[in-house]
């Protein structure tokens, strides 16, 4: 068993236009000061990271690693959540998601998809240059508007959507394979890959592609009322990334899983800062250690109540306290009798 690496922090929700959150050097200094030893970097935020340059320049990637190393930090992973979303967009969401794209491809769905694919591939190249083997992304969604079967879905609608989703992602995953990087899909409402069943449907169409892996975030499963511990038992061999994010689900007689179109603060299901929600992180860290999870524990802050600065400060210690330093020996080694095949045969009554 391996000891999980961490604590690390996903910088996406903290980046801003004011210090220390407006450039890589200062946000790295801030993160290190809180006790983090790794950062997950969003590739769409030019204030922190130049994806195009990173894909093309080893010198730039070495500079990024140097900036972090001077502050005792590592790059844990890169993220293309926003660009991955644009690999597959249902027309109902064209306007809403256009803001994720470069200005020159907005309002042009085909050009936007091509741009998104290239962005994700650039992230694979940049990951290789940075020496990072895992990458965080979203799958995008074609079937999501039809999640609830009313009116009745036409036969084959969902199958066609997943066939197309796999068709778009297969060459991207092949490219990731060429770069030696795993694409880790965050299983998330709003994506066609939003639970275990949908991931299996996708993976089957990809022929079990070895670069198709998972970013595990239990907060999204609390809001769906999915068993997030059994999920680890089922998919541990594909879990390569871990967002440590808390959540709570408090249904009432007025609303439940769907949330009644309410703001986050007024929903039955809400994201919370670490320790303020209902996620059983002791059990999660134990299961991940049991299954020899190879990656990082990365804090993601999305609390609807607590400030991000407080959430990050408290979260660094929370993650550190939950990392299990795995044992290298069995507890009953002291009573071991050593290996003796002849004695084994005698104990079994084998002559």
Q: Decide: residue 6, CB within 10 A, 0-12 exposed, 13-18 middle, 19+ buried.
A: buried
Cα 191 off chain centre by? 13
Phi-psi label, residue 5: left if phi above 0, alpha if psi -120 to 50, beta otherwise: beta
Strand-pair category, 134-137 with 182-186: parallel
- Tell which CATH classification among 1.10.1030.10, 3.40.720.10, 3.40.30.10, 3.20.20.150 matches the domain 5-347: 3.20.20.150
The domain limits of the chain are 5-347
Are 285 and 322 spatial neighbours (Cβ–Cβ below 8 Å)?
yes
Q: pLDDT 10s digit of each residue in the chain, 351 long? A: 899 999 999 999 999 999 999 999 999 999 999 999 999 999 999 999 999 999 999 999 999 999 999 999 999 999 999 999 999 999 999 999 999 999 999 999 999 999 999 999 999 999 999 999 999 999 999 999 999 999 999 999 999 999 999 999 999 999 999 999 999 999 999 999 999 999 999 999 999 999 999 999 999 999 999 999 999 999 999 999 999 999 999 999 999 999 999 999 999 999 999 999 999 999 999 999 999 999 999 999 999 999 999 999 999 999 999 999 988 877 777 667 677 888 888 889 997
Q: Enumerate residues 6+ apart whose C-beta is below 8 A from 81.
A: 12, 42, 136, 137, 138, 186
Are 219 and 277 spatial neighbours (Cβ–Cβ below 8 Å)?
yes
> How many other CB atoms sit within 10 Å of the CB of residue 15?
19
């Amino acid at each position: 068993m391996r000891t999980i690496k961490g604590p690390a922090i996903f910088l996406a929700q903290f980046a801003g236009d004011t210090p220390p959150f407006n450039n890589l050097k200062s946000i790295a200094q801030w993160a290190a000061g809180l006790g983090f030893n790794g950062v997950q970097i969003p590739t769409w935020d030019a204030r922190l990271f130049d994806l195009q340059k990173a894909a093309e320049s080893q010198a730039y990637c070495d500079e990024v690693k140097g900036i972090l190393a001077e502050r005792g930090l590592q790059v844990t992973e890169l993220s293309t959540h926003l660009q991955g979303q644009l690999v597959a967009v249902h027309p109902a969401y064209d306007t809403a998601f256009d803001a994720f794209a470069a200005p020159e491809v907005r309002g042009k769905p085909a050009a936007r998809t091509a741009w998104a694919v290239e962005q994700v591939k650039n992230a694979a190249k940049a990951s290789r240059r940075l020496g990072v083997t895992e990458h965080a992304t979203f799958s995008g969604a074609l079937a999501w508007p039809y999640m609830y079967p009313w009116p009745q879905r036409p036969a084959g609608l969902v199958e066609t959507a997943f066939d197309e989703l796999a068709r778009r992602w297969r060459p991207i995953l092949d490219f990731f394979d060429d770069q030696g990087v795993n694409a880790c899909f965050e299983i998330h409402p709003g994506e066609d890959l939003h639970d275990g069943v949908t991931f299996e449907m996708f993976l089957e169409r990809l022929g079990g592609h070895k670069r198709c892996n998972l970013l595990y975030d239990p907060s999204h499963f609390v809001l769906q009322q999915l068993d997030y511990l059994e999920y680890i038992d089922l998919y541990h061999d594909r879990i390569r990334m871990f967002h440590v994010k808390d959540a709570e689900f408090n249904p009432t007689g007025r609303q439940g899983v769907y949330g009644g179109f309410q703001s986050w603060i007024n929903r039955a299901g809400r994201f919370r800062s670490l320790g303020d929600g209902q996620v059983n992180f002791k059990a999660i860290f134990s299961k991940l250690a049991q299954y020899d999870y190879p990656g990082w524990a990365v804090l993601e802050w999305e609390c609807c109540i607590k400030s991000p600065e407080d959430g990050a400060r408290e979260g660094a210690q929370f993650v550190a306290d939950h990392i299990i330093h795995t044992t290298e020996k069995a507890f009953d080694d002291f009573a071991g009798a050593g290996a003796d095949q002849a004695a084994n045969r005698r104990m079994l009554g084998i002559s």
